Structure 1
Amino acid sequence: MGVSEELRALTGVVDRLAARFPALPRERIEDVVHQEHSLLDAGRVRAFIPVLVEHAARDRLAR
């Protein structure tokens, strides 16, 4: 997965989470997604990073 594909996928993550958590400000969702992405950004296998970010961000936002 290239950088542009990964960024597009992360935009989709934010969109899906915003739909799932409509009461939360989009900026909060973007911040959580960015934080989770930064934790995984050093990984060498990029294909699953958007999925892992989405799961971790969803768990954090649900608390």
Structure 2
Amino acid sequence: MRALGDVVDRLAAKFPALPREHIEDVVQQEHSLLDKGRVRAFVPVLVEHAARERLSR
């Protein structure tokens, strides 16, 4: 999904000290939690928000 690739790119720019693979894993984990919902339009935004929160810790 192109939108998730964009999310990874933005988070990698925001957290340059973290390995890209780690950011990709967090984004994938967050996506898997939200992927089963009925409303899919905002999934990338929600994934980015949740991943940013986890990476900020």
Looking at structure 1, the residues matched to 39 and 51 of structure 2 have their Cα atoms a distance apart, in angstroms, of 19
Equivalent position of 1:25 in the other structure = 19
Q: Give the deviation of 1:44 after TM superposition.
A: 1.0
Q: Give the deviation of 1:23 after TM superposition.
A: 0.2
The runs of 5 or more residues in structure 2 that have no matched partner are none
Answering whether residue 55 of structure 2 is matched by residue 61 of structure 1, we say yes
The alignment's C-alpha RMSD in Å is 0.3
| Count of matched residue pairs | 57
TM-score (norm 1): 0.89
TM-score (norm 2): 0.99
Give aligned-pair identity as a percent.
82
Equivalent position of 1:14 in the other structure = 8
